[in-house]
Structure 1
């Protein structure tokens, strides 16, 4: 009987250990194909690095992490189905983006399933604005935050210029154009015209058409509210039409991947914004950020982009919240995240409680001349930081956020 009891105790102990060591699944809902696939690949790289580091340090609550990923192709309907599949796999939380329409649709379905959703690259104001809810946390900045730092720079260097807008026809494009028009005093469409381009699925002929109309205008600033491969295609046509020589090109949200795809020669002088570049940790004196740049560069033979940094930060922030809450339950994690301030890859950041927007410094950047880029060992020193705005100044206030929610018929608190 004694041996039976001991054997049973041993079996129970082993079963408990096996259960405790069961991996925690994190679900990455990202574009592996489509116009934003390079930004998606960067997210994958950042997430995998974070997971490997956390596992090497003992995991989360005694359990290792594993990543399960699904391709959204930047299509909301497909992304929603991915959320359902990842939930069925037992994912503890979901993250991803590159298309705000994807992040918004995915976040809503995740909320219905009781899962937290962290937006990576989702710049639309709507993500944490009129479409915001308790289960959505946005790691990157909003369109309004980009517009404020960009408007500050453009108003100083190019005051009273005529703008021509070419915009992706979906939520990110709409809110980004609207925000930039407000901060650059280019609201009057009679003076500062604009055209929309289908997303996803625009053809080269569509870009040729709108850019030809831009060329026929008297505009001095060409605002390309496009992203990923769509921006690259438009830039090539703009170059052929001579627009890059006679207009200042503005692309509100730039990434390392975009410049790499187009080439620094084509993108030289383009102005936009970034929430993070690999130069930021040194600028902000972030030892942890500099270590991330070094580790990522050694692992992948390239510098980390803002896309990679976003996914990396999300995994770490979720893991930190789980440890502080001693729980994987979404409600406990929401409480742990709301109002939480931290420093990771740059200066001070905060998960703001009332809208779940990550409040952080935003940078205006300008693409360097090709000869300067080529001086760097990895040939990826693309951006000159030409402007900087603290998160508290860039982010909309509570009153502004509530006014937006009220106008959309939404509750004045997250539900």
Structure 2
């Protein structure tokens, strides 16, 4: 008689327990699973999932677990806008992602209309937190200005008075980066420092080859390739076949682990660019939590994390901390908690600056190691030497710079 009684008690208790389960808090990642930047998208997803695991193992946010919702944007702004709308219908109050600046700007605007916070990841155009900046948008990644400042200082010190040639993507980020780097390297004279433009969508091998042949025919010492994703990979492979890396110093303003993997270490060897984070940074900046992130990522994926994974991880952790501090999921309360908040997570001190919502952080000039050096590392993925470092305050545009870009619109709306 005892066992049937116990069974009936369990049948009563279990449904009650299920009914009282804590509802998770959904957050939305809009990222490229397909298209030009799918490798970066994979890293974004991995970094976000790791952050959710860490937060949930520590009790969640406001006593509730996080749930990551992911939607493919294919790096297209229309798809990103639709993803934001879908997230809003599912009760999301914070979305993040993006692999292009145009995508981030469009997604951020739609998020603001829906009262949702949006954090831009791989979106480097100055416009994102400059002329197009707004109250509901924060950027974790560095801007084109920040990359240009650290590169400009390094190149001026170590490779002065050189002649430049630019190959530029015809979009917001490409134009922004070209302008910032020309200023930083005193190469504004377009007659002396020539350029070619690559279409933002639908570029073909002939486009890349024509631009590279024009660069080869110039008298430039420095070839600046302002491209990302598959555009960069294809251009770099053609440049290698043409032997341009033996004739010119190649500069890629925004480097990443994924582009070295995709193009190949032999093709990318010796290229100079910038990163906001590499897996070596926690050790250099004496960041125990950053090293814990590196170790956890390696344990899960048997490879080193890149800056894309670090950006997504940091965003989720920082938003969760802001919600905890404010005690609310309300966007206005979270914005107030984030503005001018300083923290240490994966590197040295960073700050969410109040006047433009740019994450102010140290930025690094890096150089791709030789293939032989890379192959000697345990996971054969130790791609970068850090060759120069600049503090965030020195790299980021000042309030005066920002106000000049904004014109009459001097507050975030």
TM-score normalized by structure 2? 0.95
**In the TM superposition, what is the alpha-carbon distance from 1:16 to its structure 2 partner?**
8.4
| Correspondence list, 1:7-406, <5 A | 17-18=20-21, 21-406=22-407
Q: Give the gaps of 5 or more residues in structure 2.
A: 1-12
**In the TM superposition, what is the alpha-carbon distance from 1:200 to its structure 2 partner?**
2.6
**In the TM superposition, what is the alpha-carbon distance from 1:265 to its structure 2 partner?**
0.9
Contact preservation (8 Å) 1:322, 1:328: yes
User: Whole-Å Cα distance in 2 between the matches of residues 89 and 153 of structure 1?
Assistant: 47
Contact preservation (8 Å) 1:74, 1:200: no
Identify the range of structure 1 (159-168 vs 269-278) with the bigger mean alpha-carbon deviation.
159-168
User: Whole-Å Cα distance in 1 between the matches of residues 272 and 166 of structure 2?
Assistant: 14
Contact preservation (8 Å) 2:265, 2:370: yes
User: Whole-Å Cα distance in 2 between the matches of residues 16 and 387 of structure 1?
Assistant: 56
User: Whole-Å Cα distance in 2 between the matches of residues 137 and 176 of structure 1?
Assistant: 19
1:4 is matched with none
Contact preservation (8 Å) 1:162, 1:221: yes
Q: SS of 2:251's equivalent? A: strand
User: Whole-Å Cα distance in 2 between the matches of residues 195 and 370 of structure 1?
Assistant: 29
Q: Deviations over 1:100-123 (max 9, x none)?
A: 110011001000000000011111
Q: SS of 1:50's equivalent? A: helix
Contact preservation (8 Å) 1:168, 1:226: yes
Q: Deviations over 1:150-205 (max 9, x none)?
A: 01111112111111100111111110010000000000100001111111321111
1:413 is matched with 411
Q: Deviations over 1:329-365 (max 9, x none)?
A: 1000000000000000000000000000000000000
User: Whole-Å Cα distance in 1 between the matches of residues 223 and 240 of structure 2?
Assistant: 12
User: Whole-Å Cα distance in 2 between the matches of residues 339 and 200 of structure 1?
Assistant: 37
Contact preservation (8 Å) 2:93, 2:115: no
TM-score normalized by structure 1? 0.95
Contact preservation (8 Å) 1:25, 1:90: yes
Contact preservation (8 Å) 2:260, 2:383: yes
Contact preservation (8 Å) 2:224, 2:251: yes
User: Whole-Å Cα distance in 2 between the matches of residues 218 and 331 of structure 1?
Assistant: 54
**In the TM superposition, what is the alpha-carbon distance from 1:229 to its structure 2 partner?**
1.6
Q: SS of 1:374's equivalent? A: helix
1:6 is matched with none
**In the TM superposition, what is the alpha-carbon distance from 1:17 to its structure 2 partner?**
3.8
Contact preservation (8 Å) 1:149, 1:363: yes
Contact preservation (8 Å) 1:59, 1:65: yes
367 and 121 in structure 1: CA distance in 2 versus 1, 3 angstrom threshold = same
User: Whole-Å Cα distance in 2 between the matches of residues 292 and 193 of structure 1?
Assistant: 43
Contact preservation (8 Å) 1:338, 1:351: yes
Q: SS of 2:376's equivalent? A: coil
Count of residue pairs the alignment pairs up:
401
User: Whole-Å Cα distance in 2 between the matches of residues 141 and 388 of structure 1?
Assistant: 13
1:7 is matched with none
* Large movers: runs of 4+ above 4 Å: 13-16
Q: Give the gaps of 5 or more residues in structure 1.
A: 1-9
Identify the range of structure 1 (128-137 vs 75-84) with the bigger mean alpha-carbon deviation.
75-84
Q: Deviations over 1:233-254 (max 9, x none)?
A: 0001111112111000000000
